[in-house]
Amino acid sequence: MREFVRSFVQRFSSLFRRHRLESDLDDELRSHLEMSVELNLRKGMSPADARREALRSFGGVEQTKEIYASSEDFP
Q: What's the distance, Cα to Cα, between the start and end of the chain in Å? A: 26
- Residue 25 is predicted with a pLDDT of 83
Helix axes 61-70, 47-58, angle to 10 degrees: 30
Integer Cα distance of 49 and 44 in angstroms? 10
| 24-75: pLDDT as tens digits | 888 888 898 999 999 999 999 999 999 999 988 877 777 777 777 666 454 4
- Residue 44 is predicted with a pLDDT of 97
